[in-house]
Structure 1
Amino acid sequence: MARRWTPVHGTVCECEDFDAEVDAKAVYNAMKGLGTDEQTIYGILARRSYAQRQEIAEVYKTCHGSDIVEDISSEISGTLEMVLHALLTPPALYDARELNWAMAGAGTNESCLIEILATRTNEQIKALVEAYETEFEEKLEEKIDSDIDGNLQRFLIALLQGNRDEDGDVDMDKVEDDARALLSASELKWGTDETEFISVLCLRNDRHLWRVFDEYKEISGKDIEETIADEMSGTLEEAMLAVVKSIKKTPAYFARKIREAIQGVGTDERTLLRIIVCRSEIDLQTIKEVFEEEYEESLRSVIEGDVGGDFLSTLLLLCGEE
């Protein structure tokens, strides 16, 4: 059965009475002299859209001859510094830096790579690829190739091409072909042909894939997620499920990621921050609604139970919670 597009809403929008010069001056004065007025800084930046924050940064440098990010780093540290940097970093560069962080050092944070590459549009992927090469003087594909191996490597590199059809057309003959191809590559085969899954999941548009998932269940009697869980394992399973779940209902995917970030011992503050910042102007309001529906508690109450201080206050502002 065809699904309707889920209406999505962000929590951060453009400030109507915005004045970049007034904001830049207020941020500067909050860091001038002894002590720092952190509340003024995050109170301004968390209530402005990304485009408006960029205007503030430009006016700040023009009026005061210094970089707003560098000045913030000289006055503020810890998680508050991290969230303020995220707010002032261009989205593509922020994604690029997060990907680089995920592959730095001895280990690799595959979950971060999966979350970003599985949920960005073609345009966003191409922009982050360019930003990565400019920032780190290395091709992102080559970095992933050297850091990841096996089928996960192939899947992530396929996603990295940003070649998914985005025109929204649905060809029912192709839908049936794709569903049967996935069934032949899994349930009807000894072993699994991961290549078929990679091809379909990385090339087809969302509406087409919705139909494929319905057709697959019709002919196999199983949800596609169930088949992936049965046929795949480890991070490849995680990556393919991320694509399927984000296509079926993107806000639900991110609600689940937030839930995972705050469960267990310690809080994954970096993931929590990344999702809230990146989705604040896209669908964070919808994520909040889905979160409460799925887990029977508000996102606010969960965040308040896991983080505190100015970091908490900034995240709540970004979530539209005054």
Structure 2
Amino acid sequence: MGVTDAAVETVDLRRSYGGVAVLDGLTMRVARGSVHALLGPNGAGKTTTVRILATLTTPDGGVARVDGHDVVRDRSRVRRAISLAGQHAALDDQQTGAENLHMMARLAGLAPAAARRRATDLLERFDLVAAGGRRVVTYSGGMRRRLDLAASLVGQPSVIFLDEPTTGLDPRSRQGLWEVVAELAGAGVTVLLTTQYLEEADRLADRIAVLHGGRLAAEGSADDLKRRFGAHRLELTLRDARSFAEAAHRLGGRVTHRDPARLELAVATDGGAPEIRHLLDEVDPDRQGLARFTVREATLDDVFLTLTGDPVPARREAAGV
């Protein structure tokens, strides 16, 4: 991908807090008009990366560009090109939805009539027309997130940063927000999102960057990452405690998951029939101890565990880094 194709680019980006390196040489590119997800365990540097790109934090070293502009030297140009929707909706609860959008449009420099038209257009786009005359304090969580995202688009940015946009939303509201993000990318807006939901990254992102220890551990499409770092898994349920213990002994260090209470074991596999047959014969040679088995395809959970050594991340990022 050439430089002109990059809506966002970082080279050897560094940032420390209290002597602790949060970003330790992060280099990545985000293609224009794409949805790019940042994944990583708590403290991996996801939010710090977004804050630097949004000109809210200054890096200690390295280079970061947004829409071709350096985030330190060309801060004002970067801010005109971007919008940021954080984890918490930045709205005035005592104003109506329409009033919030009109106010944002006026702050963005639109004339009164143009601001009203922009507010009306955004209420329609985000399915908030019926609620536009109500005070935001009466909105549900999903409605507030949609309004916050609408407000972030008042200035028609070319790049939008979404920091955990669906945290705390119910499944229906998350689905609705996913559809909006897909529409943004389809309209040519570049979306860089951080998320703690692996399903969200799998569903939305054209490319996924996995951060670990302030560095880029891996990058690629969801399918590519699964192929390179995930693994099929043979999940076994044994008939009794004795069969469980014998199977666990035979598999030894190859066991990737064990649950004695449920008599369940799991082992990585290439998913091919020859290896599956071999493992089943090895685990249960007399064909008396195995109750059932399942072959599961690789998921982003597997990729995350392989690259970071951590289980699926918590829903909030500790210390905002």
Shorter-chain TM-score above 0.5: no
* TM-score of the superposed pair, with normalisation by structure 1: 0.29
* TM-score of the superposed pair, with normalisation by structure 2: 0.29
**Higher strand residue share:** 2
**Higher helix residue share:** 1
